[in-house]
Amino acid sequence: ADGGRNLSLDSIPMGLPMSDPTAWTTAMNNLGMAPMGMTGQPLLPDFDPALGMMTGIPPINPMMPGLGIVPPPIPPDMPAVKEIIHCKSCTLFPPNPHLPPPATRERPPGCKTVFVGGLPENGTEQIIMEVFEQCGEVIAIRKSKKNFCHIRFAEEFMVDKALYLSGYRIRLGSSTDKKDTGRLHVDFAQARDDLYEWECKQRMLAREERHRRRLEEERFRPPSPPPVVHYSDHECSVVAEKLKDDTKFLEAIQTLLTWIERGEVNRRTANNFYSMIQSANSHVRRLVNEKAAHEKEMEEAKEKFKLALSGILVQFEQIVAVYHSASKQKAWDHFTKAQRKNISVWCKQAEEIRNIHNDELMGIRREEEMEMSDEEIEDPSEMKETEESALVSQVEALKEENDSLRWQLDAYRNEVELLKQEQGKASRDDDTTKEQQMKLLQQALQGMQKHLLKVQDEYKKREAELEKVREDKLKIETLLENLKEQESSTSRVCACSQEKECPVEKTLSNSPVKSEREVLLVGIISTFLHVHPFGASIEYICSYLQRLDSKICTAEVEVLMTRLQNTFRQELSGVGASLEKRWKFCGFDGLKMT
C-alpha cells in the first residue's frame, strides 16, 4: 500500500493512505454524487415548499415518517466500478460487481443515522471512525457487542456516502483471522433525534412560508374605504356645501346615505336632512342633461358610421367594376391562366363583401324608415298626448307640492313638540311669550291644513280630467282605425275604376311625371316642403334626398319641380346680398285651381 499519498476532494487534503488517490472521487462519481469536501457542507440548503423537504431528497409525506424515501438509484448505463480503499488500520475490498446491490429499508425523514453491520469482532470505535469519517463529520458512534453499530452524521447527505460502503469486505491490517474480517452492511436507521430535528426544521420552514404568504396577501389586498365621519352640525354644513358642488357630489351623497342608514335622522335633525335631500334632488336635472348629451353624441356617431359605410360601399363598387371590366374579352385574352383565376377569385370575394356591406346599410335605412313611419302614425294623436302629458305633469307637480307641504307640517309639529318639552324646563316668566308662539304656530298649522285640503281637491279634479282625456283618446283611436279601413276600401275602389276608365300608358304619357321613381321623389319632396312652410332652397332639398339615395343630382330635382307648376312654386326671399330662391309646396292651391 502506498501510504504516502493523500486523497484530494474539493481541494481539501486528507491524510488517508490509498492505493489510488482518485479512488474515493471515482466512487462518489459512480454513485451519482458530485465530489465534495469532507467538512459536512450541504449540497443545496434551499427549501422547496412543494416538496416540504431539503432539495436533493425525494418528497415524503410528513404525516407518515419513514415512508416514501428511497436512496437515489444509480443510472443503469453508468458502470459501477468500485475499487480497493486503503486506510491506516484496515483495508476495504469492493464486492463482486455482478451481484445485485445490497437491499436497504425505506429512508426515514431527516435521516442522519446509519446502521452498520458485519463488523469484525476485533473492530474498535477508532477503526470505525477511521473508515466512516471519510463520509463526513461523525457526531456519535454507538457500538454494540454483537458486531454492529449506529453512526450519526452531522448532515443528511453524508448518509448517502456511507451507504456506498455497503457490501465492502473489511480486513484489519494484514491478518487473515476470521475475527479480523467481515462484510459491511450499511442501512438507514430510524432515530428519535433525527425525526425531532427534521420536524422542528419543517415547522420553522412552514412558519416562514406562512409569514411570506401573509406578507404577499397584505401587499395585494385592496385598500379599505375611508371611514365616514360621525354626524355633527359642523359636518352637516360641510356635507351640505359639498352636495352643491358637482365635483364633490359623489363623496357627499355617500356620506349622506351612511348617516341615514345609521339612524342619525331624528326630530331635531330632520330639517337638516330634508335640505340635504332637496339639494341632492337638484342634481337630477343635471344628470338628465348629461344623458341627453351622451345620446346626442351617440346619434352623431351613428350618422358618421353610416356615411363612412356608404363611402366604403362606393369604393367596393368601383373595385368590382374594375374586376368586371378586366373580365371582358378585350382585356381577358391577354392574361395568363393563373392571373385569370386570381382575378375571378378576387372578384367573388369583393362581391361578397360588397353585398354584406350593402345589406348592413339597407338595414340601417329600413330602421330609420320604420322610425319615421311610427312618428307619422302618431301625428294625429299628438295634440291629445300633449294635453295628457301636460295634465300628468300638473298632477305630478301637485303631488310634489302635497308632499312638501306634508313634510313642512311634520317639521312644524316637531317644533311644537320641542317647544312643549322646553316649556316645562323654562321659567314661569316666559309663559306668556311661549303661549303667543304656540298660538302663532297653531294658526300656521290651521292655514297649512286648509291649503292642503285645497290641494287635495285640485288633485282629485285633475285626476278626473285625466280620466276623461284618456277616454277621449280611446274613442279617437277607434275612429282613426275606422277611417283607415274606409280609406283603404275607397282607394281600392278608385284604383279599379281608374283601370277601367283609362289605360295606364295614356296617363303616364300625358302626365308630367314619367316614371315611378319621379313619383316617389315628388311625394318625398312634398312631405319635406310641407314640414317647411316658409320654403327651402334646392341645395337643402337635394342634401335631404341624397341621404336616401346618393345618386340623385340637383339638376334632375330642379327640372322635375319646374315641370310641376301646380305642386311646387319658386319664390325669391331676402334683400340684396341675402337674396335667395326658395321652393314652396302649393299643392292645395293647385288642387283648387285644377
CATH number of the domain to which 547 belongs: 1.10.10.10
Is residue 215 assigned to a domain? no
Is residue 560 assigned to a domain? yes
For residue 183, give the nearest of 126, 136, 123, 113 by alpha carbon.
123
| pLDDT confidence bin for 424, thresholds 50/70/90 | low
State pLDDT tens for residues 382-421: 555 666 677 777 777 788 778 878 877 877 787 788 777 7
Give dist(CA 63, CA 430) in Å, integer. Answer: 86
Is 70 exceeded by the pLDDT of residue 82?
yes
Residue bearing the bigger pLDDT, 156 or 491: 156
When divided into structural domains, the chain yields a total of 3
Per-residue confidence (pLDDT) for residue 31, from 0 to 100: 43
Kindly state the cell numbers that stand for 572: 325669391
Give kind and range of the element (H or E) at residue 542.
helix 538-548
| pLDDT confidence bin for 213, thresholds 50/70/90 | very high
| pLDDT confidence bin for 227, thresholds 50/70/90 | confident
Rg (CA), the chain: 53
557 in Cβ contact with 545 (< 8 Å): yes
State pLDDT tens for residues 247-265: 888 888 889 899 998 888 8
Per-residue confidence (pLDDT) for residue 398, from 0 to 100: 82
Q: Residue 159 is part of a domain; what is its CATH number?
A: 3.30.70.330
Is residue 291 assigned to a domain? no
Is 70 exceeded by the pLDDT of residue 237?
yes
Which domain-ending residue is among 368, 384, 407?
368
Q: What is the mean pLDDT of residues 228-243?
A: 89
In percent, the amount of the chain with pLDDT more than 90 equals 18
Is 90 exceeded by the pLDDT of residue 534?
no
Burial class of residue 103, CB neighbours in 10 A (0-12, 13-18, 19+)? exposed
Q: What is the mean pLDDT of residues 300-304?
A: 89
State pLDDT tens for residues 47-80: 444 434 333 444 444 334 433 334 445 544 444 5
Is residue 292 assigned to a domain? no
Determine the straight-line distance between the first and last CA of the chain, rounded to whole angstroms: 143
Least confident of 67-76, 283-292, 371-380, 583-592: 67-76
Q: What is the mean pLDDT of residues 170-191?
A: 89
Is residue 248 assigned to a domain? no
Least confident of 48-52, 146-150, 341-345: 48-52
Which domain-ending residue is among 154, 175, 201?
201
Q: What is the mean pLDDT of residues 531-536?
A: 84
State pLDDT tens for residues 314-329: 888 889 888 888 888 8
Is residue 350 assigned to a domain? yes
Amino acid of residue 38: M
Which domain-ending residue is among 316, 350, 368?
368
Per-residue confidence (pLDDT) for residue 325, from 0 to 100: 87
Per-residue confidence (pLDDT) for residue 23, from 0 to 100: 45
Per-residue confidence (pLDDT) for residue 400, from 0 to 100: 79
Q: What is the mean pLDDT of residues 17-39?
A: 43
Is residue 135 assigned to a domain? yes
Q: What is the mean pLDDT of residues 286-311?
A: 89
For residue 1, give the nearest of 93, 126, 118 by alpha carbon.
93
Per-residue confidence (pLDDT) for residue 129, from 0 to 100: 92
Give dist(CA 138, CA 428) in Å, integer. Answer: 103
State pLDDT tens for residues 433-477: 778 888 888 888 888 888 899 888 889 888 888 888 888 888 888
Per-residue confidence (pLDDT) for residue 66, from 0 to 100: 39
Q: DSSP string of 415-462?
A: HHHHHHHHHHHS-GGGHHHHHHHHHHHHHHHHHHHHHHHHHHHHHHHH
Is 60 exceeded by the pLDDT of residue 379?
no
Is residue 565 assigned to a domain? yes
Is 70 exceeded by the pLDDT of residue 16?
no
Per-residue confidence (pLDDT) for residue 184, from 0 to 100: 92
Is 60 exceeded by the pLDDT of residue 197?
yes
Residues with Cβ within 8 Å of 437's Cβ and at least 6 positions away in sequence, in order, are 419
Q: Which domain holds residue 539?
A: 516-591
134 in Cβ contact with 180 (< 8 Å): no
Burial class of residue 121, CB neighbours in 10 A (0-12, 13-18, 19+)? middle
Q: Give me the chain's average pLDDT, please.
A: 78
408 in Cβ contact with 448 (< 8 Å): yes
3-state secondary structure of 584: strand
Is 80 exceeded by the pLDDT of residue 298?
yes
